[in-house]
Structure 1
């Protein structure tokens, strides 16, 4: 480790994307600290993690988390802040004035983040650019809700404006179910949801971009989602690197409209009825299959830290195609159990059979990360909220 290299604080250490970031930065010589509301985390047990800090939960106690983070930044000035999930990113942006004098960061403006995090605003932005996306409405009254259903037919999708993975999404088949789902999602999330035209499950593709402080693309990467849990609408459990420059171009156009800086992932799904790719949402944060991009040659965390420190980097647009990442624990194992199929999966559930596939937690080079995952499972076996965190995209 070089003595002059600044420390990096990686938040949300329970998530496997945080483990990927810790491994990346630790291998490059950066002293890495992780933060989470528990000590039992994959990233915290990684050989590449220097310190583990216990923090309040950014989801359950955002005010306490903000106070804690500002205090830490003042005590240890010069840290590079890498908030990894939506709640922690939001708090960093809300407290940017307090944090900026003591920390390095490359993040979007709060206004840009709010637009990207709002699925309805994302759909509106995409439509204004002429991009294909499902018909979407945010009803202000029940009459508007029923009019949209009448015009578009069932099934329809009731979707929270702010959520990750499949959390809160309801597929409804009739008017009674629509009314009930609309009321339930409103109650669960504290705001009315949007209603979206249903697209039958199809191929899902994701484009990830890192935008520098001047609005230029510093790195781009595209992946195909191979398997999911839950099977039809859940986060991916296996991914494959692919080449799709047209999706990178669309993602750049959309993020440029939002004035984006920093990291983001844009998602599409192919409509099997007409074969057209339709934009679904923006993830204004790191995504949980981050390991695949790093494995394929696009080291987003390392580039992100270097840009946050004011360094110039050569744009990275070329990477290895056909690489695969699997999340065996727990996602892909749950996929196999749900489809009642262990043999015959490609890539296989266990091992590689000669395919370029790696697990994003299990690693002989960093075995204690898996121990941290198992400890977190044992510690929070009955905590539904913690399991949602472990399963999310």
Structure 2
């Protein structure tokens, strides 16, 4: 009999992709979130909806709930989907393991370094990878030196964030000092990077087994985004770029990684070179594309969590396209006014294979769950921010 699985963060479309993948194989999958109104929970492939505390706002309560859930479901496989739930699973590793819960996650230190954008840049530079010029000023003197470098425009970034949240753009020395002090006053000191104009964005997803061996890799190109310039992707395409997967694997190996992660690059339009931007130490929201292209990360992750050995999956269908019409691509069209002449079109396939990562005649109730979530949380900015994570 297949071991049951707990998939967290059911509001997110990556969680829906994971539940559909596992449930279609006859694996009992339970979806958890702090709300019952989620696309994942309404999927026909979901065996049950679980209501949890909010992992970011109530981490101690969530940890207790997770341990209690594992105690009620012996042999449960844990598939945490987002950064907060991954971090709590890692922190509770010993208690969960004592309850016979199974999971494949990195140790605390590799997770901390991968989640820290500055530590990621440092590790990448040590491997000879190109990144934006990055500074971490320790005092006002170092901040003044950056201001005098004439490297503007600059970007002030939180060391821990997702997507474009918390980012500030500055164009002169006076603005840098003011914006940096404001950002530092609101939390941990941020980092400063040289601004790279918007360019092609590429992502490499990697799954590493418990012994540090590569289990799967996949590379995609981001086609459209919302917000249009700096937001998460709303349309993605699978591409062949094994050298990027190799770089991602090397970077994660340097960190001592285990489990799933995704690395992001952007092509600098000034010199045409790819620059590593960050690591997402978790599943990414466009997971559906990898599954549709032939790299079933959730199922491979499930098998590895059970201690099975899998043959590495590094080849897949090229040119596969997925789209997030609701709400991402539709909001992009509304905000930019670009409704026609899109490739692929906003609606339809346009001559090549395109699949929506939520809308499906084979699983229509997921869209109903999304609609209920929108109605219930229409005025809740926090819920909308969560849906627009990378």
Matched, 1:355 2:352: yes
Q: Distance in 2 between matches of 1:336 and 1:87?
A: 31
Other-structure match for 1:174 = 172
Matched, 1:158 2:156: yes
Partners of 2:13 and 2:358 within 8 A in 1: yes
Matched, 1:61 2:58: yes
Other-structure match for 1:323 = 320
Which digits, 9 at most, give the CA deviation of each residue in 1:262-314, with x for residues without a partner? 00000100011111100000000000000000000000000000000011111
* Structure 1: 5+ residue stretches without partners: none
Shift of 1:348: 0.6
Which digits, 9 at most, give the CA deviation of each residue in 1:296-345, with x for residues without a partner? 00000000000000111111011000001111111111111122111111
Other-structure match for 1:309 = 306
Out of 320, 334, 338, the position equivalent to 1:337 is: 334
Partners of 2:104 and 2:258 within 8 A in 1: yes
Shift of 1:72: 0.9
Out of 132, 144, 147, the position equivalent to 1:146 is: 144
Shift of 1:152: 4.4
Out of 259, 268, 273, the position equivalent to 1:271 is: 268
Matched, 1:36 2:43: no
Shift of 1:179: 2.5
Other-structure match for 1:46 = 43
Out of 117, 120, 123, the position equivalent to 1:119 is: 117
Q: Distance in 2 between matches of 1:290 and 1:23?
A: 11
Please, what TM-score do these two structures have when normalized by structure 2?
0.98
Matched, 1:90 2:111: no
Q: Distance in 2 between matches of 1:84 and 1:222?
A: 19
Q: Distance in 2 between matches of 1:11 and 1:37?
A: 10
Q: Distance in 2 between matches of 1:356 and 1:330?
A: 20
Partners of 1:89 and 1:285 within 8 A in 2: yes
Q: Distance in 2 between matches of 1:266 and 1:240?
A: 16
Other-structure match for 1:99 = 96
- Residue 151 of structure 1 aligns to a residue whose secondary structure is coil
Please, what TM-score do these two structures have when normalized by structure 1?
0.97
Q: Distance in 2 between matches of 1:287 and 1:186?
A: 28
Instruction: Name the CA shift for 1:382/1:183 in 2 (closer, same or farther; >3 Å).
Output: farther
Q: Distance in 1 between matches of 2:330 and 2:185?
A: 32
Deviating beyond 4 angstroms after TM superposition, the runs of 4 or more aligned structure 1 residues are none
Q: Distance in 2 between matches of 1:150 and 1:235?
A: 33
Partners of 2:90 and 2:107 within 8 A in 1: yes
Other-structure match for 2:78 = 81
Other-structure match for 1:14 = 11
- Residue 164 of structure 2 aligns to a residue whose secondary structure is coil
Q: Distance in 2 between matches of 1:345 and 1:115?
A: 39
Shift of 1:149: 2.8
Partners of 1:330 and 1:391 within 8 A in 2: no
Partners of 2:40 and 2:46 within 8 A in 1: yes
